[in-house]
C-alpha cells in the first residue's frame, strides 16, 4: 500500500511527488546482538517532492529525479552498515535523497515487520519528513537569485542570511513591480502560467500585466532572444518573502543557474517594492539595473506611463525609457492581453 503523504508547498507552490515504495532488503539494524548477527527484512517507502514540469515539457530524463537512483540509495542504506535505531536509518535515506539535484523535500518510511516484539503485530514503522530548510548540509541546494554563483550571499564562508527591514511585513498591502523573462521552451506559456501562480500565493494579488516584448540577450553566451513582461502586484509579504516566492516559482518552471547570464526558462526579478530603497547581501531595492533595461522600462511604460522608479538612479519611467532607447526591442505580434486581478484570479482557479 502506498504511503499517504501530505503535499509539500514551497513559496506558495505545491510540488509534484515521485514515490518509490516497498523497497525490500535484508539488513542488520537493531539494538539486540541477535538482530545484527542474523539480520531480518526491512522495507522503505520514499517520496521525493520535486517539480516535474521542466522534464515533462522536454521529455528529458536529465531534468528530473531518476526513481531508480532513489531505490538504489534506499536499498544500499537498508543493507549497509547497521544502526541501532530505525530513526537513524530513515535519516540516512532522507539525506541521500535530498542530496539529489531537484529534490526539495523527502518523506521516508522505514518498516521493520520482523521486529522482536512480545505481542502479535503487523509492522513497525518510523516516518520522517526532511527538507532543505532543516539541514545546513544541503544549503547549496537553496534556490536563490545568485545560488551557486560566485556572489552567492549564502555560500559557505559568506555572511549568511540577512535579518533586517526586508523581513518586515507591511501594515497594509503595498504595490510592487516584478519583471519576468525567459528564452528557453514555450516562453509565452511559461510566463503566463507563472503570473497565474503568483496570484495563487497567499499575500500576492496580481493587478496588471504588460504586453510581451522581445529583446536580444544582454551578455552571456550565444542564445535566443528573450520574451519579457512586467507585472504590477499588491503584496502583504515582506520584501524577502516576495523574493522567495518568485524564486520558488522559478524553480517550478525549471530555472537553472549553470552559468552567469545563460539561457533560462524563466527569470522573475523584484524591480520595486513601494518606495523602499535599501540593500542587503541578498536583495537590493529598487533593482540596481532597472533604470538601464529597456525590457523592463518599455513594458512598464505601456501600462503605467506616469510611474516613478524610486531611488537615486530612478525617475519617471517614461523619461528613463527615452534615455535608454528601444534598440532591439519589439512588441510581440500577438502579445498576451493586459490582465486585471479578476482575470488572473479566474485563471488561477480554473
102: DSSP letter:
T
Grid coordinates representing 79?
A: 543493507
Grid coordinates representing 41?
A: 527484512
Q: Which residue is catalytic, options 10, 63, 112, 141?
A: 112
Give catalytic status of residue 112 as yes or no: yes
Q: What is the dihedral of CA 87, 92, 93, 99, to 10 degrees?
A: 140
Distance CA 199, CA 232 (A): 11
Closest CA to 231 of 321, 333, 132, 302: 302
Residues in CB range of 345: below 8 A, 6 or more apart: 199, 206
Q: At what angle do helices 294-303 and 317-324 cross, to 10 degrees?
A: 140
Alpha-carbon separation of residue 175 from 232, 291, 318 (angstroms): 7, 18, 19
Tell me the sheet residues that pair with 128: 108
Distance CA 87, CA 93 (A): 10
User: Catalytic site residues?
Assistant: 112
Amino acid at each position: 500500500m502506498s504511503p499517504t503523504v501530505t503535499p509539500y508547498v514551497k513559496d506558495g507552490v505545491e510540488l509534484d511527488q515521485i514515490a518509490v515504495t516497498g523497497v525490500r532488503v535484508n539488513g542488520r539494524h537493531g539494538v539486540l546482538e541477535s538482530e545484527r548477527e542474523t539480520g531480518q527484512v526491512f522495507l522503505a517507502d520514499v517520496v521525493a517532492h520535486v517539480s516535474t514540469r521542466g522534464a515533462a515539457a522536454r521529455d528529458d530524463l536529465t531534468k528530473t529525479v531518476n526513481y531508480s537512483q532513489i531505490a538504489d540509495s534506499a536499498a544500499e542504506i537498508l543493507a549497509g552498515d547497521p544502526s541501532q535505531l530505525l530513526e537513524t536509518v530513515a535519516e540516512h535515506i532522507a539525506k541521500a535523497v535530498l542530496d539529489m539535484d531537484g529534490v526539495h523535500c523527502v518523506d521516508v518510511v522505514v518498516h521493520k515487520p520482523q521486529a522482536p516484539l512480545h505481542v502479535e503485530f503487523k509492522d513497525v514503522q518510523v516516518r520522517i519528513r526532511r527538507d532543505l530548510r532543516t539541514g545546513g548540509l544541503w544549503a547549496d541546494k537553496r534556490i536563490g537569485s545568485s545560488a551557486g554563483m560566485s556572489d552567492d550571499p549564502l555560500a559557505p564562508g559568506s555572511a549568511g542570511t540577512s535579518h533586517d527591514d526586508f523581513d518586515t511585513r507591511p501594515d497594509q498591502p503595498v504595490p510592487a513591480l516584478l519583471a519576468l523573462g525567459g528564452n528557453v521552451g514555450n516562453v509565452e506559456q511559461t510566463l503566463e502560467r507563472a503570473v497565474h501562480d503568483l496570484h495563487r500565493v497567499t499575500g500576492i494579488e496580481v493587478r496588471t500585466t504588460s504586453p510581451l516584448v522581445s529583446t536580444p540577450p544582454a551578455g552571456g553566451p550565444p542564445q535566443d532572444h528573450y520574451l519579457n513582461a512586467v507585472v504590477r502586484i499588491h503584496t502583504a509579504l515582506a520584501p524577502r518573502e516576495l523574493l522567495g516566492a518568485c524564486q520558488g516559482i522559478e524553480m517550478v518552471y525549471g530555472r537553472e543557474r549553470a552559468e552567469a547570464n545563460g539561457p533560462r526558462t524563466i527569470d522573475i526579478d523584484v524591480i520595486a517594492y513601494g518606495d523602499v530603497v535599501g540593500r542587503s547581501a541578498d536583495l537590493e531595492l529598487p533593482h540596481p539595473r532597472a533604470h538601464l533595461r529597456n525590457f523592463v522600462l518599455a513594458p512598464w511604460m505601456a501600462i503605467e506611463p506616469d510611474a516613478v522608479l524610486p531611488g537615486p538612479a530612478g525617475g519617471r519611467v517614461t523619461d528613463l525609457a527615452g534615455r535608454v532607447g528601444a534598440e532591439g526591442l519589439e512588441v510581440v505580434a500577438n502579445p498576451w492581453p493586459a490582465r486585471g486581478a479578476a482575470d488572473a484570479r479566474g485563471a488561477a482557479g480554473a
